[in-house]
A and B are shown apart, each in its own frame.
Chain A
Amino acid sequence: MKIMDTDSDVALSNYGLYDLESDLELFLPNTVIKFHRISDNAFSYFRKNSEGKIIEKIIPVKSQNLKIELAPIRPLNHPARRTSHMFLQFDKEIYLSENSAASIFVHCPIEIGIFLVHDSSHDSLDWITCNPLNSRFGLYGSPDTGTLCKYAKVSLATDYSDSNSYLEGVMQIIVENTLSFGQSISKIVFQITDNSFYYQNSKTIIDGIKITMKKRAAVNIADVKTTVLETDWPMSPTWEDKTASTHMEMGLE
């Protein structure tokens, strides 16, 4: 199934593997990605996004069997990688009465990773976000002891098929209230590096979360654990942040 970009009337590229033999163009919402073979052993990479930002790279290659993988990744890189925690603020509160449980689906923002695949290894090449305005930071707790998180206001989803292409994936949250009174939930904070992402065409689903509200000694807490999703959708590779660096060897003094 092809999705059209509303601004430019081009068919958007699905997630997945693409052979990199000569030239390759990929289209995402407000973003164009181009690979061009400049010699037998090198490609050029060009990416322009909606903010007019241009990234250009030269990719020297050894292997002739090259592929590009386009896949959803954790939303931790825009505007800069500062944390591994995610803070999802629900647009509606969820109320759970005493000793009850519920299963809900929520949207979770994503970024898109571009990987160079060769000899069964994945090299992180670049990442983009198609919705930079929903990619911000938030603090859970007080300024002196709180946890810095990526923050997003999210809506509830109907099921796994309710993913917003290129923008948001869907994750299942199982909430269990073992307390002796009703409790509302309006936000969750969790370490998203524990959750894997899976894709099909332009859709994304994410490992779920189980929240258990319970009493520990005199304190009421919400215990958050990751639940692994069983699906036949391909799992996204893990994005590794690789910053450019220079290195200098010095002789012994």
Chain B
Amino acid sequence: MILELLQSLSEMQLVGELTVLSLLIGGIIMAGGVIIAKIAKLLFHKYYAPSLPKDTAQNISKLIYFGILIISFLGFTSSQGIDLSGIMVAGGIFAVVIGFATQSVVSNLISGLFLIVEKPAKHGDTIELPDMGVSGTLLDIGTFSSKVRKFDGTVTRIPNEKFFTSNIRSLTLSTVRRADATVGISYESDVDTAISVMKNEILQTMPFILQIPEPEFRIDELGDSSVNIHVFVWHPRDDWSNAQPILLNTLKRALDKSGIEIPFPQRVIWSGKD
């Protein structure tokens, strides 16, 4: 019964030598290839990827997936009796036409390859693209585009060409990062005392602030109402949230404890009669 069905399918010619049976076999090869590629990718992610660096794992995963797909496609073409050398000759002319039509697509593809080779940033790095106003965690450098998860949780897709040609500021390449804040004290207050109390408070209550290099204090400006002190502290690169957001609070607490005034803006107004 089945043999008869296959026999009849092999006799049903579609175009030239192409029969329904050979097309069916080709379809099964391609479908099998896609399934095997997905399973291989899944198994790789489950058993091997966790022990590799994120970007290496992503690249190997893509290599496995697309490698199996290409092998399946070659199997499909050979099952159909398609001679690829003929396609390649005709494809030369066709490629020029396609090339012009898909310029931006190819540009993104090539940029993606360059990004993978040059590695200006790795998966999982915190980056900032000042030209585009995007900052967040790099999730993936894909075939045509890259994805960045911004700090508000949304994911931005950036075409690889734009990503490759824009300035990339890496926030995770150095071991340590610097946080800073400016605080103003009244002209009546002693600057050295203020610096001393702020430094002590930082070193005692902010465990993620580095002792070496020490917190640095610079008189930033003799302002209209206050002496403005700029404070710089260093912290481990992954602990920004334990430094920058609480630095001003710590400085204020230190000044409040010591009774050092943080002045409001003041204006002395002279009327004409005076």
Q: Chain A interface (Cβ within 8 Å of chain B)?
A: 78-80, 82, 87, 89, 132-133, 135-140, 143-144, 146-148, 151, 252-253
B207 & A143 in contact (Cβ 8 Å cutoff): no
Tell me, in angstroms, the Cα distance from A78 to B242 when the chains sit together.
Answer: 14
- Given the contacts A82-B236, A143-B234, A252-B42, A135 and B175 also touching, CB distance less than 8 Å: no
Q: Which residues of B have CB within 8 Å of A146?
A: 175-176
Compute how far the CA of A144 lies from the CA of B175 in the bound complex, rounded to whole angstroms.
7
Return A174 CB to nearest CB of chain B, in Å.
25
Q: How far is the CA of A143 from the CA of B213 in the complex (A)?
A: 9
> A143 vs B203: C-alpha distance in the bound complex, in angstroms?
19
Which chain B residue shows the least CB distance to A253? Answer: B38
Q: Give Cα distance in the complex from A82 to B238, angstroms.
A: 9
CB–CB B176/A136 < 8 A = no
Contacts of B85-116 to chain A: CB distance below 8 A: none
> Does the CB pair A139–B178 fall under 8 Å?
no
B3 at interface by CB-CB < 8 Å: no
Residue of B176, B178, B208 most packed against chain A (CB within 10 A): B176
CB–CB A78/B234 < 8 A = no
With CB as the reference atom, state the residue of chain A lying closest to B175: A148
Residue B212 at the A interface, CB < 8 A? yes
- A216 vs B164: C-alpha distance when bound (angstroms): 42
CB contacts (< 8 Å) of A140 on chain B: these are 212
8 shortest interchain CB distances as A-B pairs = A138-B212, A79-B207, A148-B175, A136-B211, A82-B236, A151-B211, A138-B211, A137-B210
Cα distance A69–B176 in the bound complex, in angstroms: 36
Return the chain B residue nearest A187 by Cβ.
B212
CB <8 Å contact, B178 and A143? yes
Interface size, B (range)? 20 to 34
Query: B271 contacts the other chain (Cβ, under 8 Å)?
Result: no
Q: 25 A-B pairs, CB-CB below 8 angstroms? A: A78-B207, A82-B238, A87-B212, A89-B212, A133-B204, A135-B207, A136-B207, A136-B209, A136-B210, A137-B210, A138-B211, A138-B212, A139-B210, A139-B234, A143-B174, A143-B175, A143-B178, A146-B175, A146-B176, A148-B175, A148-B236, A151-B211, A151-B212, A252-B38, A252-B39
In the bound complex, what is the Cα–Cα distance between A140 and B234 (angstroms)?
13
CB neighbours of B39 from chain A (8 A)? 252
**Of the residues B38, B204, B212, B239, contact of A139 by C-beta under 8 Å:** B212
Scan B126-152; emit 1 where CB is below 8 A from any A CB, else 0: 000000000000000000000000000
Cβ of A64 to closest chain B Cβ, rounded Å = 35
Measured CA separation A54–B59 after assembly (Å): 44
Q: Given A146-B176, A252-B39, are A139 and B207 also a contact pair (CB < 8 Å)?
A: no
Within the complex, the shortest CB–CB distance from B115 to chain A, in Å, comes to 22
Report B-chain residues with C-beta under 8 Å of the C-beta of A252: 38-39, 42
**Cα of A89 to Cα of B209 in the assembled complex, Å:** 17
Extra 5 A-B pairs, beta carbons < 8 Å, given A138-B210, A143-B174: A79-B208, A136-B203, A139-B234, A144-B174, A252-B38
User: Which residues of A lie under 8 Å from residue B235 when comparing CB positions?
Assistant: 137
Docked CA distance A146–B174 (Å): 8
Beta-carbon contact of B176 and A143 below 8 Å: yes
Shortest Cβ gap from B174 to chain A (Å): 5
CA distance A87 to B211 in the complex (A): 11
Complex CA distance for A115 and B230, rounded to whole angstroms: 46
A132-B207 in contact given A82-B236, A139-B176 (Cβ < 8 Å): yes
Chain B residues with Cβ below 8 Å from A147 are 175
A151 (CB) vs chain B CBs: closest residue: B211
Report the separation of the CA atoms of residues A212 and B42 in the bound assembly, to the nearest whole angstrom.
51
Q: How far is the CA of A211 from the CA of B39 in the complex (A)?
A: 54
